[in-house]
Structure 1
Amino acid sequence: MTTRTLHLPVSAPDRVESFVEYATLGESVGYEHVWLPETWGRDAVSVLTRIATETSDIGFGPSVLNVYSRSPALVGQTAASLQELSDGRLRVAVGPSGQAVIEGWHGESFDRPLRRTREFMDVVRAVLSGEVVNYAGDIFSLGGFRLRCDPPEATVPIEAAGMGPKSVELAGRFADGWHATVFTPHGFRDRLEDLERGIDLGDRSRDDVTATLSLTAAVHDDGDLARQRCRNHLAFYVGAMGTYYRESLARQGYEDEAMEIAAAVANDEHERVHEIVDDEMLADLAIAGTPEEAHEQLATWEAIDGLDELAISFPRGATHEEVLTTIDALGPEA
């Protein structure tokens, strides 16, 4: 059975307390976990601290922290602190993000992202063990670091984001979970083969790795408005967030559409985007429509074999009330 979780908006809310409101509503209607991304909005750790102290049962964590802007030792310390604050409800997802974000926004060289991700997870786990960390990798070299507090009693799962075959294989081989986004059902199934190959290479069990898909969703009494929100969201990510979303869509059979979207966004042809992201493509990449339509679409996604966790996400441009409506409408106990 697929678990239903939340993947909160990046920067839409006007205030931090809106994130807390989303999380507490999610807890009340049965979501099992709440994820918070970190890109150009509020930092994830501060907001997650508020969520941890204002909720009691729902799991929480970042999805994802990039592996360039913080050291792995600091992330280990942060994870230990959040695990203590939440009485053991934390999961942490990390990933390399992309060149445009890392070099353009953080001023770091986007060098060897897969190796960096693997070593980053190694160091975070070593820190959380409470033992002295002596680590000699190709990217990171540490000596003598040790937590000056008790390590968490409950193990913190360290999960990894990935879109391409090698990054998904890495998640299967070394991480406690794989985080996927902007996937069609067919594309997700293809990458599951890479995940399972990694699991085999790591001599692990499929039960050791949670496969999580973040899926954009908009529920509104005006179904056309919901679909417009999701079309605009997909256009932004494909057209303005580097090349990796386009490359991923190309692998999933939407290469021409991805290139057309990028060109339309570059030329400010926003109406053209709505033509390119037709109903078939939208249904392949999002949940969008009236409550009745959305529930019908939700059942299709949750029936995907091998999908352990479906994280309901939200489009850019969704209002505070629209996010609340979608959370409530798709809640497991709603």
Structure 2
Amino acid sequence: MRLGIQLGYSGQGFADAVDEVVEFEQAGAELVVVPEAYSFDAVSQLGFLAARTRTMGLASGVMQTFTRTPTLTAMTAAGLDYVSGGRFSLGLGASGPQVIEGFHGVRYDAPVARTREIVEICRRTWRREALVFQGEHYRIPLPGEYGKPLKLINRPVRERIPILLAAMGPRNVALAAEIADGWQALFLDPRAAGRVFGEALADGLARRDPELGPLDVSVPVPYALAEPTPALLGPHRAQLALYLGGMGARKRNFSNDLIRRYGYPRAAELIQELYLSGRKAEAAAAVPDDLVAATCLVGAPDEIRRRLDDLAAAGVTTILASPLAAARAERVKDVTALRQLLDDAGPTPPLSAER
């Protein structure tokens, strides 16, 4: 199982965070993922990280499909792969209508179909084809007397940059399993993964081109080798409340929908009601304790081993750790220990359509 590091949105203390990422790389971390919501963009930070790191992979988590043209997405990915010496993976996601329409002023429609077309356009661009694409949502070049097929001027470091799709709903998860190099999951409860995602994964994997290879499944997890005290788990509980209650409209919140499918319909309704009415602390308190525990990686070494086994059984191949320890030296020590625990656990069998 690969070990990655998931950075946060805040942008505060970025230089210190990058210094710490360099130490995580030396401790055995193989990947760093930079988010992009309605925060600072991921691209500028990834470029900085490319200059400071040497061997670890870099990934967006995620660049939004609606906010850049498909060819700009391809150009940006090729540029990040270039400056990093072939270490970039393109994490893509549709986000949701609250962010796309509310912050970017772009209509949120047909996310699954658009994602499929964007992936194909990116791959053609990286192969330096004279770009001609006639899809349902994107037409390149536009009809008329001025547009002409062009190809990328530069020769990319790689003509197949890995694409990782963020997905929660069944159709998006199936699409990731079918066409992407990886699936970026969020708030994955390994106890419910087979029941909630199994059919969608099997459907997508059954149509998957064997040339893509096994599907990488990555999961961000707050992490600490420590007693799971309320104080330590507080930030994770608050993040769950934010996503379940406020990261989406009342009638269209994908994280809220997910935990309903996990089996928490009453909690999902209550958290959203409390959060949207401004009672954020009460919303956090309403997050079920077992959901908090199931979506993090906190405890003594034996408990961490058991949780890693559960994640492996659910098909997870990449852990994206967010170290929780208060002191930097302790966070680096914890990452070193997690690298050893993952090495001891051995490889994770790839997902298959039958699994």
Query: Which residue matches 1:226?
Result: 232
2:24/2:335 contact within 8 Å kept: no
Query: Which residue matches 2:353?
Result: none
Instruction: Give the counterpart of 1:310 among 309, 319, 327.
Output: 319
Q: TM-score, normalised by structure 1?
A: 0.89
Amino acid at match of 2:233: R
Distance 2:77 2:31 in 1: 16
Cα separation, partners in 2 of 1:10 and 1:328, compared to 1, 3 Å: farther
The unaligned stretches of length 5 or more in structure 1 are: none
Amino acid at match of 2:238: N
Cα separation, partners in 2 of 1:68 and 1:261, compared to 1, 3 Å: same
**SS of match in other structure, 1:119:** helix
2:36/2:60 contact within 8 Å kept: yes
1:27/1:58 contact within 8 Å kept: yes
Q: Percent identity?
A: 27
The unaligned stretches of length 5 or more in structure 2 are: 142-148, 341-355
Distance 1:151 1:301 in 2: 38
User: How many residue pairs end up in the alignment?
Assistant: 327
Query: Which residue matches 1:295?
Result: 304
**SS of match in other structure, 1:133:** coil
**SS of match in other structure, 2:140:** strand
Query: Which residue matches 1:264?
Result: 274
Deviates more, 1:105-114 or 1:272-281: 272-281
Query: Which residue matches 2:49?
Result: 51
Q: Root-mean-square deviation (CA), in Å?
A: 2.5
Amino acid at match of 2:247: M
Cα separation, partners in 2 of 1:298 and 1:222, compared to 1, 3 Å: closer
1:21-43 C-alpha deviation (Å, 9 max, x unpaired)? 24212211111111111012221
Alignment of 1:71 with 2:65, yes or no, is: no
**SS of match in other structure, 2:191:** helix
Amino acid at match of 2:100: I
Query: Which residue matches 2:190?
Result: 185
Instruction: Give the counterpart of 1:162 among 158, 167, 170.
Output: 167
Instruction: Give the counterpart of 1:29 among 11, 27, 46.
Output: 27
Query: Which residue matches 1:10?
Result: 9
Instruction: Give the counterpart of 1:201 among 181, 199, 207.
Output: 207
**SS of match in other structure, 1:132:** coil
Quote the offset at 1:149 in angstroms: 1.1
Distance 1:76 1:7 in 2: 23
Deviates more, 1:17-26 or 1:74-83: 17-26
Distance 1:293 1:323 in 2: 23
Distance 2:14 2:207 in 1: 42
Distance 1:30 1:166 in 2: 35
Cα separation, partners in 2 of 1:263 and 1:300, compared to 1, 3 Å: farther
Distance 1:111 1:176 in 2: 24
**SS of match in other structure, 1:185:** coil
**SS of match in other structure, 2:87:** coil
Distance 2:37 2:120 in 1: 23
Query: Which residue matches 1:282?
Result: 292
Cα separation, partners in 2 of 1:239 and 1:305, compared to 1, 3 Å: closer
